[in-house]
Amino acid sequence: MNEFELIARLTRSLPTNESVVVGPGDDCAVIECGNVSRQLLFKTDAVVEGIHFNTDTPPEQIGHKALARCLSDIAAMAGTPTAALVTIALPKNFDSKVVERIYAGMNVLAQRHGVAIVGGETTTNPERLLISISLLGSVPRGKAVLRSGAKVGDVIFVTGELGGSLAGKHLDFEPRLAEAIWLAETFPVHAMMDVSDGLAGDLRHILNASGVGAELLKSAVPISRAAKVNAKRGDAAKPAFVAALTDGEDFELLFTVSSKDAVPLLDAWKKQFLNIKLSCIGRIVSGEGIRLRDQTGIRPLQAHGYVHFS
């Protein structure tokens, strides 16, 4: 049983109440909080030593990544983060100075985005370091951008470049919070999420939630320099395009808009965000799954993103 099969089984009979607007299945939960103009966003995420970082990773980068992952999910809903709780589980022989440096990295990022760290929990974990973040945010009422709004005829955009994140980006990426809010305020964004498990996997989440399919243009997918360099190192390395589809931990925004908004959006983006690439990589079509268009024609895309337990 892989990660998504387990999630589907666990979420079949979860309790709910009248405060829940959006429950499991999107980047954040959306919850009523008695505010006439805004709704709460609620997210939790964890990083584990040996999975998301190594023993020799600089502690400041561990703290940065732990919080940035949650911030990226708030961005995916076009929200504003507000307050976080931090649970840290430590082996018995932990170094307090290392823990302080983890928090220092977390604190710098939190201050940059106006996030208050309001408490948490410390506990023992015999084998390895684990950090879990619970993050609150908010979004204007009814304006959370969900995964489920993609429409046939939409064009598909992605920010930045994809693949090769293990070369360093996965530890120091900047969540696209400002970019997501600008997008939602400037254009009708139909569906959006962040790319955490690879384009091939995360696009499928949007398609499944929206009941549509997609056609990707191979030549339009933005491939990072790190992915290209890795591909040249030997036969064991992934081809750069496969890395861009499957590596994950890019934490870029993946979203769809009406085709009539595509050119105005690209023009406005270039003026607003000079140093962040925006690529139109395909379109939403009827049916299901992903088709890939290249010089040889159109065929089903077999690649998938990262899946825990698979």
Task: Give the span between the Cα atoms of 269 and 280, in whole angstroms.
Answer: 12
Per-residue pLDDT tens over the stretch 230-259: 888 764 568 999 999 999 999 999 999 999
Residue type, 129: L
Query: Looking at the whole model, is its pTM more than 0.85?
Result: yes
Per-residue pLDDT tens over the stretch 175-212: 999 999 999 999 999 999 999 999 999 999 999 999 99
> Which residues touch 178 (CB under 8 Å, ≥6 apart)?
none
Which of 162, 307, 155 is closest to 242 using CA atoms?
162
Per-residue pLDDT tens over the stretch 94-106: 999 999 999 999 9
**What superfamily does domain 155-300 belong to in CATH?**
PurM-like C-terminal domain (3.90.650.10)
Task: Give the span between the Cα atoms of 21 and 133, in whole angstroms.
Answer: 22
> Which residues touch 141 (CB under 8 Å, ≥6 apart)?
35, 36, 37, 38, 39
Q: CA–CA distance from 303 to each of 16, 243, 257, 300, 306 (Å)?
A: 35, 10, 24, 9, 10
Kindly list the domain boundaries of the chain, sorted by start residue.
3-140, 155-300
CA 292 to chain centre: 22
Per-residue pLDDT tens over the stretch 14-67: 999 999 999 999 999 999 999 999 999 999 999 999 999 999 999 999 999 999
Q: CA–CA distance from 198 to each of 219, 250, 252 (Å)?
A: 17, 7, 10
Write down the pLDDT at residue 234.
61
Write down the pLDDT at residue 20.
97
CATH, domain range 3-140? 3.30.1330.10
DSSP 16-52: --TTEEE-BTBSSEEE--S-SSEEEEEEEEEEEBTTT
Q: Which pair of tokens denotes residue 213?
A: 């399919």
